[in-house]
Structure formats: structure tokens, C-alpha cells
Amino acid sequence: MTEQEHNTGEVAMLTIGGRTIELPVVEGTEGDKAIDISELRRQTGYVTLDRGFANTASCSSAITFMDGEKGILRYRGYPVEELAEHSEFVETAYLLINGDLPDHKELNRFRMMLNDNSLVHEDMQRFFQSFPRDSHPMGILSSMVTALRSFYPALIGMPRSEAILLTLTRLLSKVRTMAAMSYKISRGHRVIYPRLDLSYCANFLNMMFDNPVKPYEIDHDKVKALNVFWILHADHEQNCSTAAVRLVGSARVNLYAAISAGMAALWGPLHGGANQAVIEMLEQIQAAGGDFRPFIERAKDKNDPFRLYGFGHRVYKTYDPRARIMKAMCDRLLAKLEIQDPLLDMAKELEEVVLRDSYFADHNLYPNVDFYSGIVLRALGIPTNMFTVMFAIGRLPGWISQWMEDAGDPKWKIYRPRQVYVGPAQRPFVPIHQR
């Protein structure tokens, strides 16, 4: 059940249309306060207008805490820095979904369940084969996730909590298998099946890169890097894709459909698609001779829609804590693997110049998680068009836990925003021969 915000006893007074009403003030556990306007329309006839929900809390949530001014990110109270250092992705997923860190027995059971559910129905492979070869992997994955519901129908007769556990385990395990399958099929290679003896991350790398001619050797530095990459993406409170999962889920659709909606939202270049866009931007700069200054000038030009991908965030008005960890990991991983990536050198120089530029300082634009993540993924051998799929696999525990929180909320309501209508006033229908 969802923890609820508490009423502070404070009120906000609103005087409108000749009368004054009191709106209660509620507070969360970290001291963030909100004016509860749920009675506003009933009492006054007015609604609030807040484009992009920049100032609207759509729910109360006990999963993730962010402080955008201080650059803080915590899952269930644990700083993301500590999780990245000491946890593994499966343990962090358990934490997000269940609310607490598992003990040995709980973690082993969860790992076993993930391994037991890692196979994907063979008929789904045929489904994969029917997509045009150059389809974007995000398009394939979101359709395949919706299709999972047909291959794994509702679990009738099972207690609800067990049915949810099995469904979420299937999702976490099979989406990872399907992502690797789609890569193999896109290359025309034989699909590699998951192995019971490998961990979640090692299994993914093996399914991606093992082949009958050259067996894949598991590299522990790569496995650690993938764990950290996925931990850093595991949740981020009410971002665009999570809000989509909650909104679609609020209509009481099944979990697969809600997650598929999240994937569709994540695909956008302003959201999860930014990791692909960053690398493409860096490659474009490289192809243009390596001088990034004209790109910075374009990003500052109000008449040019171009933006520097990997910079800026709706909530963070300082350095994204995930970007700091990603950058350090990038340095470590490339050094360990003895990889020289000219894009990393260019990214660092670009960041230095941008951080000294008054436009970016005045707009509070700092590197976000996507700025260095693509370079980590390149080092792991992941093709650029799969970067957002990698983000999606990482975000699954977050989407699932947010969906579960909404589903168990005693104050649950279907999401149904209001609008301010600005279209034509009433007018009579004109028959076609008179128009």
C-alpha cells in the first residue's frame, strides 16, 4: 500500500471571484510541500493550468527522492552513489519493487525466478522476423512487450500478489532476452539462449555477443559496468515515461500494456532517446572536423531548434548525480579495457567549454545521465541504435514499482487532466454543398 503525504495543518488562501477559499498544504517525508487543489474546481469552478506539469505533483510516491537543486537521487532512501558502488542491478530492482533490500534468501529466490523465466516463446521469434530489417529496436521492443500479454495471458486463479510477482519477473527477464534476440535477428545471426549459470547482466552480454564461431568470454569489468549503467537508470520519479506508465496503468490496463506505453515515451530524443542523439551529435561534430563551437552557438541561438543533447534537465538545476558516476565509470572502464575513444575526449572538452559559458550557467544547464552513457555502451560493444533499449531495460524496475504503487493506492483515480478550451465557439453545421 502507498504511504500517504501528511496534512501540515497549514492552508493556502486563494481569493477568486469575490470569495476566499482555503486549500490544505500537504508535506512529504523530505519536507517537500504541496498545495492540494483537488477541491478547487468543485469550490470555485476554476482549474489550474500547468503546461508540461512543470509544477504539478500527480501523485505521492515512496519510491524515489530527487532534489534537483542539490543534485540528490535516492531509491527507497538509499543514495544512488552507494547503490552504484555496492549493489547489483537485480538487487536494486528488488529494492525498488519491494521497498527494502533483500536478504540472501530473498535475493537468491528472485535471481532464480528471473533465470527460470528468461526463455521467450519460440513463436515470438517468428514475430520478430517479420519486422523490416532496419526497424528501430525501440519500435520492435515496445510492440513485443504488448504482444507478451498474448503469449502469457492473465493469470487467472492465482492470488493477485503472486500473479503480479510472476508477471513482473517475466517482464524483467524476457525483455532483456528479447532485446538481445532482436539484435541477433537484425544481424541475421543465430539467437543465443539465456543460461541458468549466468547472472542477469552477464547473461545479457552473452546473449548479445556469443556466437557459434567465437564464444563470448565474460569480462567482469564489463559486467560491473552494465550493472552500474542499469542501476543509474532504474528509476527517476515522475519523468515522462513513468508518468505514461502511471497514466495508462490508471485505466487498469495490464502491466505489459502500461510498460509498452512507457517504452514509447522513452523513445523520444528529449527523454531516453537522448543517449543515441548524444553519440550521433558527437559523430556529427567529428565528421565536421571536430570543432564543437559552432554547435554550441547553434544551441544558444533562439531561432535554431538545435539543442545540445545530454545537457539540461527538468528537475536538476545542477550536475546530474548520475552523470557524475557515469563519467567516472567511463574513464575507469575505457582505461581497464585499454580503449581509446576520441568521442570521450571530445565530450570532456565540450563539457568544459559549455560549463564555462554564461548561457548554460544562466539556464542551469549541466550534463545529464545521457551525456556519458553512450560512450560506456560503445565500450561494451552495444550498437548505437540499441542505446535507448538499454535505458528501457534499466528503467523496467522503476516503471514496474511505480505501476504497483498506483495499483495499490487506496486514493487511486484514473488520470484525466482538464484543459482550457481555446477552439471555436459553438457554430451551426454547414452542409458540404454550402461550404
DSSP β-ladder status, 72-75 and 78-79: antiparallel
Nearer to ligand CMC, 100 or 352 (CB): 352
Residues 98, 112: Cα–Cα separation, whole Å: 17
B/e letters for 236-263, b = 16+ CB within 10 Å, e = fewer, are bbbbbbbbbbbbbbbeebebbbbbbbbb
Nearer to ligand CMC, 167 or 276 (CB): 276
* Smallest separation (angstroms) from ligand CMC to the CB of 5: 24
N-to-C CA span, the chain: 57
Q: 197: buried, middle or exposed (CB in 10 Å: 19+, 13-18, 0-12)?
A: exposed
Residues 179, 204: Cα–Cα separation, whole Å: 9
Amino acid type, 115: N
* Smallest separation (angstroms) from ligand CMC to the CB of 300: 7
Nearer to ligand CMC, 14 or 57 (CB): 57
Residues 367/323, Cβ–Cβ less than 8 Å: yes
**Catalytic residue list:** 313, 370
Nearer to ligand CMC, 194 or 398 (CB): 398
Q: Using CB under 6 A as the criterion, which residues of the chain lie in contact with ligand CMC when the complex forms?
A: 52, 236, 239, 270-272, 274, 299, 307-314, 363, 365, 368-370
* Smallest separation (angstroms) from ligand CMC to the CB of 263: 13
Q: 332: buried, middle or exposed (CB in 10 Å: 19+, 13-18, 0-12)?
A: middle
What 188-193 contacts at long range (C-beta under 8 Å, 24+ apart), as own/partner pairs, is 191/125, 193/119
Alpha-carbon separation of residue 168 from 122, 171, 173, 374 (angstroms): 20, 5, 8, 27
Nearer to ligand CMC, 205 or 323 (CB): 323
SS3 category, 204: helix
Nearer to ligand CMC, 314 or 348 (CB): 314
Residues 17, 45: Cα–Cα separation, whole Å: 10
Residues 359, 301: Cα–Cα separation, whole Å: 10
CB atoms within 10 A of CB 376: 26
Nearer to ligand CMC, 274 or 392 (CB): 274
Q: 157: buried, middle or exposed (CB in 10 Å: 19+, 13-18, 0-12)?
A: exposed
Phi, psi of 100 (to 5 degrees): -135, 160
